[in-house]
Amino acid sequence: MNSHLIPPTKAEASEVSEAPDSVTDEALMAEIATQHSSQALEQLYRRHRSMLRGVVLRILRDEAEMEDVLQDVFIQVWNQSSNYSVDKGLVLGWLIVLARRRALDRLRQRSAYQRATDRFEAEHERHVDEGAEHCHVEEDVCSNDLRGLMFSLISHLPPPQQQVVLLTYFEDMSQREIAAHLKLPLGTVKTRIELGVRKLGCALAPMRSKVA
């Protein structure tokens, strides 16, 4: 399934709106699984999006992230439609379970990102404080050393993560500004920053243990 399928284009929406409401969710799932029907997926999305948006929004409290999660849910439906069985209950119940899991995963990612960011900022401040205590006249040199250290660590990140971390910490760009600048989904930018900061935290861990 391609990400452009949700939300549908006007032409797709017109085609989907013609699908009869009498078609059951189970029949739509069967079409997705056996025929890879994008129209069946669109119909399923349009039928249940309001309910699923409410489920996700109650967990995340963020409309932008809610849309990202909903997109992920229906990509998962497209890729794993064969995993659904009527024995598992109603299709809507299965969709709600998927939506809750995806939303909780995103919430955990957000928390992990925040903790990693806090650790990164605390480490930076600690090095600056140590520089003030021990360098005094050489404060600029110590600051440059720290900056050099961070650039060195960042240079070992995968290129996509390097890019967003540099824009975040050295260009002072917001996540939305980065997403617009790189023409990437906001969720992709957030994930890349989270992964990059987590790796930087792991790289700094041995240094923290030496000075502890």
What is the residue extent of each domain of the chain?
3-105, 135-211
Quote the pTM value. Answer: 0.47
pLDDT of residue 8: 43
Question: Is 88 buried (19+), middle (13-18) or exposed (0-12) by CB count in 10 A?
Answer: exposed
Q: Could you tell me if 98 and 77 are in contact, meaning their C-beta atoms sit under 8 angstroms apart? A: yes
Please state, rounded to an integer, the average pLDDT across all residues of the chain: 75
User: What class, spelled out in words, does domain 3-105 have in CATH?
Assistant: mainly alpha
pLDDT tens, 15-52? 334 445 678 999 999 999 999 999 999 999 999 999 99
Q: Is 1.10.10.10 the CATH number for 135-211?
A: yes
Residue with more model confidence, 95 or 7: 95
Rounded Cα distance, 50 and 95, in Å: 12
d(CA 211, CA 141): 20
∠ Cα 138 200 155 (to 5°):
75
